[in-house]
Amino acid sequence: MAFHTTYAVIPLFLNELNAPTFIISSIAGIFVIGSAIPQIVTAFLGRNTKNLKFSVIASHGLLLPPLFLAGIIFIQTGLTGPLAWMFYFSCYILFTLGVGIVFPFWADFLDTAHIAEKRGQFFGVSFFFNSFAGLFGGIAVKMLLSSSISFPKNFGYGFIIYAVCVIIATLLFMCYRTSTNVRRSDSKTFKDFIGEIRQILKKNKNFRNYIFSRILLTANYPAISLYAVYAQDKMNFEMSEAGIFIVINTTVAALSGYITGKFGDKFGHKNAMVLVFLAYFFALVSALWATSLLHVYIIFVFLGIGMGGWMTSAMSLIYEFAGDGDIKIYFALTDSLTAPFVLLSIILTGICAPRFGIEAVLIGIGIFIVLGIFSLVFLTKDPKDYS
């Protein structure tokens, strides 16, 4: 994943291709929107899947064509200019749609592979090794981008490496031992399925409050994609620094994911989520105050704390909100209901950044992050304690 990060590699790649700020700032948000689009339908179609391993492995195959296509085109043609960023952005959208098909199957698959009482630790350990491996990925990115391979061929090779790693990682799912206890929907038709969704939203006030908090916090997505470009504009560092950013981010994320998981199991994953967004807020403050490359590194320390803790706490919370219900529905609902607001934040960023500057946009985003944190603290209760 180090070769395809939404906070370093992709924004700097698009910036070098002279893509508009609107496109660059949308990267993290487009990931959410694209992955949300297929989830409701996939959650319905996959509710009675018999062979989860096969479904997970087969669906991951959808991620490969856009990655290989982008890699091959940039390696073979050295494509640059407006056509280049439009081509890559199209591949990226196809990639995120593939993630949206994968995710419901993956969520059910993981549900059969962990103990509910230690869910935070399970995800924490999983993401620890995932992020720690990113340490070596960051070093590899640094070496690739500072090598004699010309731009954009160097990024093309990175995309191919990522695609090969996806294949290897997907095949390793075959080694998982799983239970047969999969929470399924009782709905038989799509109309019943939509009715089930309405009942969830009608009856679960706490889940609605959580969604409201997440809507306020969607303002954070454009910031994630802007940090590297904003800092590069201020300090004009080499693109190969992206490798260092990845090393810092993934190392810190590895520790954060594990610690946040343990913390969430003991004190509640909602409280862990509050800490996550405090880290995101301090990443934003660090970006605004940055005057040296050391300060830029601090941005990615806080971003690593946030991103590592986010993976653990956000997933754990959704499992707890679902209870004995169909986990796929809750994941799909969360992403689908927040996606329009992610799009809104991207559009507003695209309108405001050229007129008022990225710094003013980041300040506005910071206000919404603070409001989202207050909403999490005062409106949302931890689902384990809520009745």
Q: How confident is the model at residue 179 (pLDDT cuts 50, 70, 90)?
A: low
What pLDDT, on a 0 to 100 scale, did the predictor assign at position 182?
A: 56
Give the CATH number for residue 65.
Answer: 1.20.1250.20
384 assigned to some structural domain: no
User: Is residue 226 helix, strand or coil?
Assistant: helix
What pLDDT, on a 0 to 100 scale, did the predictor assign at position 95?
A: 97
Placement of tokens 């300060």 in the chain = 295
The tokens of 367 are what?
Answer: 């206000």
Give CA–CA dist 387/385, Å, rounded.
7
**For the chain, what is the domain count?**
1
Cα distances from 70 to residues 73, 79, 97, in angstroms, run 5, 10, 16
Give CA–CA dist 322/333, Å, rounded.
11
Section 17-43 average pLDDT: 90
What pLDDT, on a 0 to 100 scale, did the predictor assign at position 114?
A: 66
For residue 382, give the DSSP letter: P
For 278, the enclosing helix (H) or strand (E) is: helix 269-289
Question: Under a CB-based contact definition with an 8 Å cutoff, are residues 317 and 206 in contact?
Answer: no
- Summarised one tens digit per residue, pLDDT across range 86-133 is 999 999 999 999 999 998 888 777 777 666 667 777 777 777 777 777
185 assigned to some structural domain: no
- Summarised one tens digit per residue, pLDDT across range 355-384 is 999 899 999 999 999 999 999 999 999 887
Per-state percent for the chain, helix, strand, coil, to nearest 5? 80, 0, 20
Asked if residue 186 has pLDDT above 70, the reply is no
- Summarised one tens digit per residue, pLDDT across range 200-243 is 888 889 999 999 999 999 999 999 999 999 999 888 888 889 89
Residue among 41, 73, 71 at smallest CA distance from 59 = 41
Report the predicted TM-score, pTM, of the whole model to 2 decimal places: 0.84
52 assigned to some structural domain: yes
280 assigned to some structural domain: yes
The tokens of 69 are what?
Answer: 């296509």
**CB 131: neighbour CB atoms within 10 A?**
26
11: preceding bond cis by omega (within 30 degrees): no
Residue among 273, 305, 276, 303 at smallest CA distance from 290 = 303
308 assigned to some structural domain: yes
Which amino acid does the sequence have at 213?
S
Placement of tokens 């996959």 in the chain = 46
Integer-rounded Cα Rg, in Å, for the chain is 20
Q: How confident is the model at residue 41 (pLDDT cuts 50, 70, 90)?
A: confident
354 assigned to some structural domain: yes
118 assigned to some structural domain: yes
How many residues appear in the chain? 387
The chain-wide mean pLDDT, for the chain, equals 88
Asked if residue 82 has pLDDT above 90, the reply is yes
What pLDDT, on a 0 to 100 scale, did the predictor assign at position 383?
A: 87
What pLDDT, on a 0 to 100 scale, did the predictor assign at position 195?
A: 85
Question: Under a CB-based contact definition with an 8 Å cutoff, are residues 311 and 257 in contact?
Answer: yes
Residue range(s) defining the domain that contains residue 335:
2-176+190-378
